[in-house]
Structure 1
Amino acid sequence: MTPLPLARAFTLIESGPVVLVTTCDGEANNVMTISWTLVVDFTPKFAITTGPWNYSYAALEKSRECVIAIPGADLIDTVVGVGTCSGADTDKFARFGLTPLRAQRVRAPLIGECLANIECRVIDIVERHNIVVLEGLAAHRNESRRETRTCHAVGDGSFIVDGERIDRRAMMQHKLPPGL
């Protein structure tokens, strides 16, 4: 084993795919890139990490709702671009050619180019750890997408793309909650 600086340990564990999170402050839509996501239990609850440093955070805090949009690996340059500019001075939907679609349960838009979108409401903000806990209200899949792989942030500016799917459902059948 080779020593790794403890400050870099986070690059060894990634929590989920990089996502785009849309918000609406009542006047304008915005989108931010979030590289830390978490599924909470086997319920439609999720967590993201963000805080006041993100322009979208004020809209998220005010509206208490958002959409988690899951982009395919072919959108990695868009995902990075969205994450490296601010909605304070940029219409990110226009700049990156993203199509806002009307959601069913929240004012924040779905993103047409993404693999899937999850409409959410904020159920808790853990300020100490900059964690926003969300409850899913509706979910949508884009079955027309050819690219279905997602990207995962390593944390140092590099990403890992999903690969081959390994199916072990039969082995785990007795351990999965009903419906999975």
Structure 2
Amino acid sequence: MNSVLVTGSKGQVGNELNELASEYQYNFLFTDRNSLDITNKQSIRNFIDMNNIDIIINCAAYTAVDKAESDKKQADAINHQSVKYLAQISKEKNIKLIHISTDYVFNGKNYKPYIESDFTAPSNIYGKSKLDGEKALQDINPKNSIIIRTSWIYSSFGSNFVKTMLRLGSEREELGVIFDQVGTPTYAKDLARTI
């Protein structure tokens, strides 16, 4: 039975993968920042060796978009450097690597759905750190890796736009929301099933 390492298991996609795990014939190992420091290459290597990992699903990310502007070092460590480490180790050990990325690698000015080959031009530190992670993965282990770009994730877990709107809708008679962003909401459970 294949052993699957899932990083970022406390996030929306990680939680959904955990909920679905019993439906599949894999030995899932769910980790979060407390059980595996993905910013430490040796910690990753030790965990993979100890647990005979065959597949990595990297759901871990620094997702505080606005805070990343003042916390560049941590955003880069999680969204770029740790992806580089995962890519290096997965290549060395012939491990399949699935990496979750974001539409923030684009500048957001398209006002139509992006496709994989569209020009990337992140307009903030978060997007740049995620794109740097993608580039590292593509440079190091392109043949045994998959990058999934997603956007506007929602689920019953964590905070998200849908839950916020439902909460505010029950508290207020009118809602004022921005209308200068275009996105495609992604149900985390659908993404987890696809993975």
TM-score, normalising length: structure 1: 0.25
Greater fraction of residues in strand:
1
